[in-house]
Amino acid sequence: MPPAKKPAARPYHHGDLRRAVLTAALDVIAVDGPAALSLRDLARRAGVSHAAPAHHFKDRTGLLTAIAAEGFGLLAATLADASDLKDAGVRYVRFAREHPAHFQVMFTPQLLRADDLELATARALAADALRTAVSAVRPDDLGIDARLAGVAAWSLAHGFATLLLGHNLDGPVGDKDPEEVFRTLAAMLFRTGGKPDGPRS
């Protein structure tokens, strides 16, 4: 018998337990929210002992903090190649839909270790990307300063994404493509026509 037949007979070392736990956690959170997360359950899913995850994340808060940091990294990358502020908003909404678990955890500070270095770094990265997108707005476009334009755009995108994920827009938006709807909203905020809309006085 070939001893090299290293079967699924769970080797002592999982190989990539950290990623496995993260992925499983994202699944759970996307469906049932962060409150439903159980380290022991994640350990079972990964086929390891109940205390194994703690070695990678220290504790529950550590796991959630790692998820948030990953999320801010992904968001920063997504926003990095936005063409303008409106595009950044569209990307923001898309990110929330494609990574609902990350998004939820990123903006629930109570669940995170605020002083975590990785988290702070990733968050700063995302903030920079947002600032860059904001700076592309012509300041005289609306007679307002860029900082407020950024807050407005962020609020609109964040609110839309949040309400969308919470199924609060199922009625009004219905089966329409959310990104397209958001484009219309963004066009309302920044007058620059975004949708071939009706009569412009």
Which partner from the list a copy of itself, DNA, none does 138 bind, CB cut-off 5 to 8 Å by kind?
Answer: none
Q: How many CB atoms lie within 10 A of CB 133?
A: 24
Residue numbers at the binding site for DNA (CB under 7 A): 10-15, 17-18, 37-41, 43, 48-52, 54-56, 58-61
Q: Which is nearer to a copy of itself, 17 or 153 (CB)?
A: 153
Which partner from the list a copy of itself, DNA, none does 67 bind, CB cut-off 5 to 8 Å by kind?
Answer: none
Q: Which is nearer to DNA, 13 or 200 (CB)?
A: 13
Give Cβ neighbours of residue 153 (< 8 Å, ≥ 6 apart).
85, 86, 88, 89, 134, 186, 189, 190
Q: Which is nearer to DNA, 29 or 93 (CB)?
A: 29
Q: Do residues 131 and 99 lie in contact, with contact meaning Cβ atoms separated by under 8 Å?
A: no
Type of residue at 53? P
In whole angstroms, the minimum distance from the beta carbon of 33 to DNA comes to 13
Residue numbers at the binding site for a copy of itself (CB under 8 A): 32-36, 107-111, 140, 142-144, 147-152, 154-163, 166-169, 172-173, 181, 184-185, 188-189, 191, 197-200
Which partner from the list a copy of itself, DNA, none does 61 bind, CB cut-off 5 to 8 Å by kind?
Answer: DNA
Give Cβ neighbours of residue 36 (< 8 Å, ≥ 6 apart).
28, 29
Which partner from the list a copy of itself, DNA, none does 11 bind, CB cut-off 5 to 8 Å by kind?
Answer: DNA
Burial of 130 (0-12, 13-18, 19+ CB in 10 A): buried
Cβ-count burial 4-17 (b if 16+ within 10 Å, e if not) = eeeeeeeeeebeeb
In whole angstroms, the minimum distance from the beta carbon of 147 to a copy of itself comes to 5
